[in-house]
């Protein structure tokens, strides 16, 4: 992906990775439009970054997606980058009775939201000379974390969808890249200042460097051990990771 001269729409742009990448790309001369459910967060980003625009969007609501997509196409005809970043990460208990709201929230926001939004904008993106679809999945798409079983499963499902979509778009002007973060200090889970998590500024720096290479999977070095996990020894690796992380989460 070229890092300048784009018109970029970023969901979940009011905080965390979404905001950090929105600001970094804004500084590189891109037109940035962020989206989210919380108007106050969006307004804070806009006030801190003159030139960034914001729209309210509920990615769990198909009607909201359709309305925002139509508005984007009308107001930003040069829109050529969609970054499906919005997500939710809630603990669950796969060994017990699952909470229905937790199930539906994860699926609606983490999986159906990106698929629906991409569907609403894909024909517009195909008309651009150069376009990019970006997805924020997770290293947990490759190495599930047991206390977040449903979150991990939705990210694995999105990773699978991205691979299929990339193949189907191979002869078009639309490139598909997947950002798979490790544990980044954003507050999505745990303390935003937890020293065990990767610093957000370091993550953004590494991610932008990888994005510019047109890599299909955008991975910082800290993510590689999890991405390289699938294989014959997958179960042992997952057991070891979960044993360690369960103790860490309990101590936090």
Please identify which of the residues 76, 135, 151, 226 carries the catalytic annotation: 151
226 is a catalytic site residue: no
**Is 21 in contact with 212 (CB distance < 8 Å)?**
no
Contacts of residue 63, Cβ cutoff 8 Å, sequence gap at least 6: none
Long-range contacts of 154-160 (CB under 8 A, 24+ apart): 154/106, 154/107, 154/110, 154/111, 155/110, 157/111, 158/110, 158/111, 158/114, 158/115
Cα angle vertex 206, ends 107, 251, to 5°? 60
Burial of 191 (0-12, 13-18, 19+ CB in 10 A): exposed
Q: How far apart are the first and last CA of the chain?
A: 38
Burial of 88 (0-12, 13-18, 19+ CB in 10 A): middle
DSSP string, 94-126: TTSPPPHHHHHHHIIIIIIHHHHHHHHHHHHHH
> How many residues in total does the chain contain?
252
The residues carrying an active-site annotation are 151
């Amino acid at each position: 992906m070229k890092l300048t001269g784009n018109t970029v729409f970023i969901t979940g742009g009011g905080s965390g990775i979404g905001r950090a990448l929105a600001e970094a790309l804004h500084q590189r001369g891109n037109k940035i439009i962020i989206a989210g459910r919380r108007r106050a967060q969006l307004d804070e980003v806009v006030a801190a970054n003159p030139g960034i625009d914001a729209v309210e969007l509920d990615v769990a609501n198909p009607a909201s997606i359709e309305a925002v997509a139509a508005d984007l196409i009308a107001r930003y005809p040069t829109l050529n980058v969609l970054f499906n970043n919005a997500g939710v990460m809630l603990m669950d208990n796969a060994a017990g009775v699952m909470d229905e709201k937790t199930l539906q929230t994860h699926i609606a926001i983490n999986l159906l939201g990106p698929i629906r939004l991409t569907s609403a904008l894909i024909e517009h993106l195909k008309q651009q000379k150069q376009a990019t679809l970006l997805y924020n999945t997770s290293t947990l798409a490759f190495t599930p974390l047991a206390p977040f079983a449903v979150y991990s499963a939705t990210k694995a499902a999105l990773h699978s969808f991205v691979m299929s979509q990339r193949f189907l778009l191979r002869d078009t002007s639309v490139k598909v890249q997947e950002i798979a973060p490790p544990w980044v200090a954003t507050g999505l889970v745990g303390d935003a200042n937890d020293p065990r998590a990767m610093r957000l500024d370091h993550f953004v720096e590494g991610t932008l460097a990888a994005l510019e290479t047109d890599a299909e999977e955008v991975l910082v070095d800290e993510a590689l051990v999890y991405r390289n996990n699938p294989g014959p020894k997958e179960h042992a690796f997952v057991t070891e990771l979960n044993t360690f992380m369960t103790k860490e989460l309990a101590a936090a």
